[in-house]
Amino acid sequence: MAEVTIYHNPRCSKSRQTLALLAESGVAANVVEYLKTPPDAKALDELLHKLGLEPRELMRTKEDEYAALGLAAVTDRAQLLQAMVEHPILIERPIVVKGSQARLGRPPEQVLALL
């Protein structure tokens, strides 16, 4: 069985619910607190590929940093990736990865498709 990783923010209720759902399903996930250890641009790009999303689709557009950085006007993919690397609070969470697939835990039950 492939290892399961969760990009987790312990302050986020959906992230906590998703982690609990994994535990209830008997999955011992590798927990990455991405605010403490953010993914680099390459890792973030790989996550996006596994999710089938573009950078803006994984961004928390209601965060203050999004507006402060003027990201609504940015169309360059590399710039959006770099903004998420430098300001990981902009990354939507939780993200659960298993092998070549990933799911966003919104709602948490979406990650069950990976198990």
Q: Which of 12, 43, 53, 74 is catalytic?
A: 12
Q: Any catalytic annotation for residue 12?
A: yes
**Strand ranges, E, within the chain:** 4-8, 30-33, 95-98, 101-104
Handedness of CA 73, 77, 82, 87 (dihedral sign): positive
For every residue of 104-115, DSSP letters joined together read E-SSGGGGGGG-
Q: Which two tokens stand for residue 30?
A: 């590798």
Active site residues: 12
